[in-house]
Amino acid sequence: MSGFVSFVGSGPGDPELLTLKAVARLKAADAVLFDDLSAGPILEYARTGADLVAVGKRAGRPSPKQDHVSRLLVDYAVAGAKVVRLKSGDPTLFGRLEEEISALRAAGIGFEIVPGVTSATAAAAVAGIPLTRRLTARRVQFVTGHDVAGELPTDLNISALADPLATTVVFMPQRTWPLLASRLMAAGLPGDMPALLAENVSTPAQSLFRSTVGQLAKQLEGTRGSAPALILYGPLAEGDLG
């Protein structure tokens, strides 16, 4: 009899941000395939004796291939295991979820998705800012800062991303932010628009740097930072709510 796979969001790193459902799935799992950012104290909730398999991907570091991760999920489930695929943040945001679901569907294996706290909302909470506000920040948009090759995606809607009345969150931004910022400013986004660089959100290594779109581009020029990070920019990023 085939097993079952639970795609579980582990949040940005703080185990206290796990949902009750996430903890329950970890305690019941026969195997946990986890991302790097889901390691550490979060894994203490896993059942004693469960297989713990690191399958995380980090920019610039050797990482398991996606087809290998998908194959592991299928193999464990076919053997009858209850599997948790532990993904950092929320599984539905930039987590390669679709490829893994496709592999399970092709093998006839059941699955569920357990939402998690995304680093975007966690960063806003730590910074003490909302992501929306009537009249000045009616819209929130999430975008990835790099494609599969680690470069700035070529199909970004720059005009939408340059909307000064939106709060925009860029995931995995450090390497490509200078180029993205230059394109945003060329499209009309003010260089002095508030921006917030958040690294290692909700962990002991957490850091927040308040800046502007233009200044942050200069700061990150030539960087290849490896810390998990995102950049928020828009009218609320400075944190001064008046």
Contact between 99 and 66 (Cβ < 8 Å): yes
Could you tell me which of 144, 213, 147 has the C-alpha nearest to residue 178? 213
Contact between 241 and 179 (Cβ < 8 Å): no
> What are the residue numbers of the active site?
35, 57, 172
In angstroms, rounded to a whole number, what is the distance separating the alpha carbons of residues 31 and 53?
A: 8
Q: What is the DSSP string of 64-111?
A: --HHHHHHHHHHHHHTT-EEEEEESB-TTSSS-HHHHHHHHHHTT-EE
In angstroms, rounded to a whole number, what is the distance separating the alpha carbons of residues 174 and 198?
A: 10
Tokens of 17: 């941000």
Q: Which neighbouring-strand residues pair with 139?
A: 166
In angstroms, rounded to a whole number, what is the distance separating the alpha carbons of residues 58 and 82?
A: 26
In angstroms, rounded to a whole number, what is the distance separating the alpha carbons of residues 42 and 77?
A: 22
Dihedral Cα 115, 140, 200, 175, nearest 10 deg: 120
